[in-house]
Amino acid sequence: MKSEQPEEPGRPAPSEGRGTPVGRRVVLGTLGLGALGVVAAPTLQRNLEAFLGSAADKDPTGLTGLLPNGGGFRYYSVTSSVPHKNAENYALTVDGLVDHPRTYTLADLRALPQTRIVKDVQCVTGWRVPDTPFEGVRLSRLLDAAGVRPSAGAVRFTCFDGAYSESLTLDQARRSDVLVALRMQDKDLGHAHGGPVRLYVAPMYFYKSAKWLSGITVTEDVKPGYWEKRGYDVDAWVGRSNGRDDEPTS
């Protein structure tokens, strides 16, 4: 199996799995998923997301992060299970240093103007997926509606997995290529890709694009996110951070 952790002499290799990379057979054995091979059949490809979501829910090891997530993506979660949310129970709260805190339902977000962006996706561990459409509401629109106070300098993102978090400076958050995304690859975001709503930060490594987004809190200063507390760069520009030289994505 190809290692998820490229050798980078002189600096610690980025790591997004909780386990050591292991052979495919070991992963499958651990998960009891001996039938995974059949998932590669094209007719069953559409079931992959649902399959991965349920596999991760039963995976105490975190090794599902080493499994493919369809179309060149890898499935990542830092928790062993994530609740499923839909139009009935999804909520996104915007609060913190704002004049008009508010909670959005999925219907609320769908009713706002949608922006579609097509760029490459680049993970800091090395994998890249070309020309991926994301669609949703510009984060800047939600911030403007909330009325950001002059003392604010940053935004913190939290997730209904109960563990992941991310951050942007206010200037970064206001870029036109930063979305609260409802759709990916021209489909509603599935659970395995962070649905029903994830953040999409086009110019940055994909760890910035928090899945299962549930909270947007305007803060005074940047609060480093989950991976940033574990060594990743807070300013995560593709090609000029984390010691990497990938082609920029945006």
Ligand X SMILES: Nc1nc2c(c(=O)[nH]1)N[C@H]1C(S)=C(S)[C@@H](COP(=O)(O)O)O[C@H]1N2
Which residues in this chain contact ligand X in the complex, by CB under 6 A? Answer: 16, 69, 73-78, 123, 159, 161, 164, 193-194, 206-207, 209-212
The answer to whether the CB of 134 falls within 8 A of the CB of 203 is no
One character per residue 107-146, x = contact with Mo ion (rule: CB under 5 A): ----------------x-----------------------
Distance of closest approach, residue 244 Cβ to ligand X, in angstroms? 13
- Quick one: what does residue 77 bind among Mo ion, ligand X, none, with the CB cut-off 5 to 8 Å set by partner type? ligand X
Q: Report how far residue 76's alpha carbon sits from residue 107's, in angstroms, rounded to the nearest whole number.
A: 27
Shortest Å, Cβ 111 to ligand X: 25
Q: What is the dihedral of CA 118, 123, 127, 130, to 10 degrees?
A: 0
Kindly tell me the sign of the dihedral angle through the C-alpha atoms of 73, 76, 80, 81: negative
- Give the binding-site size for Mo ion (rule: CB under 5 A): 3
Nearer to ligand X, 75 or 90 (CB): 75
The pair of three-digit structure tokens given for residue 238, joined into one six-digit string: 């593709």
Using CB under 5 A as the criterion, what x/- string covers residues 36-55 for binding Mo ion?
Answer: --------------------
Question: In this structure, how many other beta carbons lie within 10 angstroms of the beta carbon of residue 105?
Answer: 14
**DSSP 3-state assignment of 103?**
strand
CA-to-CA separations, 28 to 33, 66, 144, 147, 199, in angstroms, rounded: 5, 11, 47, 49, 30
Query: Between residues 56 and 109, which has the closer beta carbon with respect to ligand X?
Result: 56
Our CB check for ligand X shows the closer of 194 and 196 to be: 194
Look at the alpha carbons of 67, 52, 58, 92 in this order and tell me if their dihedral is positive or negative: positive
Stretch that binds Mo ion, among 24-32, 96-104, 200-208, 230-238 (CB under 5 A): 200-208
3-state secondary structure of 9: coil
Nearest-angstrom CA–CA distance, 16 and 64: 11
Q: Which residue has the tokens 């300098």?
A: 153
200 binds Mo ion, rule: CB under 5 A: no
Contact between 207 and Mo ion per CB under 5 A = yes
Nearer to Mo ion, 104 or 207 (CB): 207
Choose the one of Mo ion, ligand X, none that binds residue 212, judging by a C-beta under 5 to 8 angstroms depending on kind: ligand X
CB of 16 to ligand X, least distance (A): 5
| Residue 69, contacted partner among Mo ion, ligand X, none, CB below 5-8 A by kind | ligand X
* Binding of residue 201 to Mo ion (CB under 5 A): no
Structure-token pair, residue 113: 């103007």
Q: Three-state SS for 27?
A: helix
Binding site for Mo ion (CB under 5 A): 123, 206-207
